[in-house]
Amino acid sequence: MKKVILVVFLALGLSQVSNAQIDFGIKAGINYNNNGEDAFKDATNNIAEGASAKTGYHAGIWFRGKLPILGLYLRPEIIYTEVKSEFEVLAEDYNFKKLDVPVLVGKKILGFAHVFAGPSFQYILEDKIDFSSFSTDEFDKFTLGLQFGAGVEFDNIGIDVRWERGLSASEARFTNNTNITVDNRTNQIIFGVSLKF
């Protein structure tokens, strides 16, 4: 009897998986890091505040599956991102590389457009600023952000634009002077193109 029940549950599970519509693909694009939260500072005050934006890039993979709630879908992604900005007072670039895992909930509109929002879990791989003889060594590796945006899809090609805001008060610290830190929370516009397989 237990074997019969097990076979019935396996059959039901396989039928659900086969009926589920799961899309996946690759994506890439550019990000414009308008990072007003960047502050190059010491223990008493800001040395240079409000870094100017520079263009970075991203690339990765995505998955999408329907949720049984009001026609919503779940879209997790795994994205490699390079973020760039510049402190005008110092005339120095500030770059960091991260692995983003946004988990987006979205809804299709009119059959070809969609809107989405959700948290973005981030792991910072490298955090680098070139200023005199200083170099960053310690930095908060795990951070949390929020993304929301909209896009359109035509056949297997998708285009979207989204805004990402860092929520964690993430800071990089300098090896040569432990009193100097850089607040590296992102505040960026992301343009992406995706290909569905």
Query: Within a domain: residue 159?
Result: yes
Tokens of 82: 């390079």
Looking at the structure of the chain, the number of domains it has is: 1
In a domain, 9, yes or no: no
Taking CA atoms, 174 is separated from 37, 44, 86, in Å, by 18, 16, 17
- Is the residue at 78 inside a domain? yes
pLDDT in tens, the chain (197 residues): 444 444 444 444 444 444 457 899 999 999 987 654 445 555 555 555 555 667 889 999 999 999 988 889 999 999 999 987 766 655 566 677 889 999 999 999 998 999 999 999 998 888 766 555 555 555 667 888 999 999 999 999 999 999 998 887 655 655 555 556 666 677 889 999 999 99
Half-sphere exposure of 129 (CA within 13 A, CB side): 29
Residue 8 lies in a domain: no
Which CATH number do you get for residue 114? 2.40.160.20
180: containing domain: 23-196
Furthest-apart CA pair in the chain: how many Å? 76
